[in-house]
Structure formats: C-alpha cells, structure tokens
Amino acid sequence: MLYSVKGTLVHMEAGFAVVECGGVGYKCLTTMQTQRNLPKLNQQATLYTHLNVREDAVELFGFATMTELNCFKTVTTVSGVGPKAGLAILSELTPEQLAMAVVTSDSKTITKAQGVGPKLAQRIILELKDKMKGFQPSEDVGVLAGDIPIYNDGNVSKAVSALTVLGYSSADVMPLLARMDKNMTVEQLISATLKEMGKR
C-alpha cells in the first residue's frame, strides 16, 4: 500500500522516527541501523515502508534501504519471529551480517539481538535455509540470463544463498555474480552485488 515516505524528519527516539509529508507526520517503527543512517532533524529523509495490519493495531515500519526492508519481510516470515523481533535482529545485525549468519549456521551471532534466544535463532537458520534451497546454483556449469555461464563455485553458491535472505531471487543476482572474480570472498561478492543492484 505505502511504498515509501519522503519528507522532513521531525522527530526521532528509540524505536521510531516521524517523517512529515504534506502536513502529515508518519510514525515509522524502525531499527537502530536505519536511525544511524537518517539525517539530522528538520532535514529531508526517505524511508521504505511496510504496513502491518493486525486486529488490534496498524503499524508502519520504515527502513533506510530496500535491502533492510526486504530482509525484514523475509525474517518475519519465520514462525515465532514477529515485527518486534525482526526490528531487534536488524537493530543488532546488518542485513548482510544476518544473511551470513544464516548461510554459516551461526546461531550465536543471531542471539545477540534482544529477545532472541538459541531456539529461535536456530529456527531462523533452519527455515531460511529451507527457503534458499530453490536458489542454489546447479552442480554443473549452467547457462542463465542470456547465455552467461555460472560455475558451481562455493563462494558464489553461498553468496546466492545469503542474497536470498535479503529478498533477491537467483534470477536477479546470477547475471551479476557471473561477471565477478570467483576468488572474491563471500562478503565481497555480496557487497559488490548489492552495489550493482543499487544502481538499477
């Protein structure tokens, strides 16, 4: 319903920011990561939004980047992870850090988030890894996206898996990863892909 809000940042405190657009102040629940990226008060700000409608409340969530918004939407599909837990996780970890934690089964990193215990962290890893299965590169050399060869390189495979946590499909990222140096680390591949996606 609401893709984004752009206007004057008029108020901010722990957990939310208020952006005024056309005389209306939109209270956006958000993460500490996003708040660190926002400008000073009374300056122009843009937040990418997600509207959550429940029986007892209508809440608007706002994020500094589409990557963080996509990651929030993905992690809150996990059973037991509501919007509050999603914000806590992304306040502690960047989307890239969360994606790497899932790919490497690092539940300890995820438990750094407030209110996230070992069992929930393991469930996040399990459920998100299951969702990644459809995005794994093939075992052999394949041809995708206009005859661009893809090789079953370990780092590329992990990068694809991590990028699916951030809301991207293999069709989105494979053509970009195919052109990159296969000697790059997983983190470098993710970072370079996100930069390229941001230019589109």
Using a 10 angstrom Cβ sphere, with 0-12 exposed, 13-18 middle and 19 or more buried, the burial of residue 110 is buried
How high is the pLDDT of residue 138? 36
Q: Give domain limits for the chain.
A: 4-63, 70-133, 134-198
- Model pTM? 0.75
How high is the pLDDT of residue 77? 92
pLDDT-wise least confident of 34-48, 91-105, 135-149, 173-187: 135-149
pLDDT band at 141 (very low <50, low <70, confident <90, very high): very low
- Reference 30, options 38, 21, 22, 39; nearest CA is 38
Say how far apart CA 59 and CA 57 lie, in whole Å.
Answer: 6
pLDDT band at 54 (very low <50, low <70, confident <90, very high): confident
Task: Please give the residue that has the higher pLDDT: either 140 or 165.
Answer: 165
Cα four-point dihedral sign 169, 173, 178, 180: negative
How high is the pLDDT of residue 153? 59
Say how far apart CA 169 and CA 172 lie, in whole Å.
Answer: 5
pLDDT band at 18 (very low <50, low <70, confident <90, very high): very high
CATH architecture of structural domain 4-63: Beta Barrel (2.40)
Q: Is the predicted pLDDT of residue 198 greater than 60, yes or no? A: yes
- CATH 1.10.150.20, applies to 70-133: yes
Task: Please give the residue that has the higher pLDDT: either 9 or 153.
Answer: 9
How high is the pLDDT of residue 151? 41
How high is the pLDDT of residue 99? 87
pLDDT band at 140 (very low <50, low <70, confident <90, very high): very low
Fold match between domain 4-63 and domain 70-133? no
pLDDT band at 63 (very low <50, low <70, confident <90, very high): very high
- 179 Cβ neighbours under 8 A, 6+ residues apart: 148
How high is the pLDDT of residue 158? 83
How high is the pLDDT of residue 200? 63
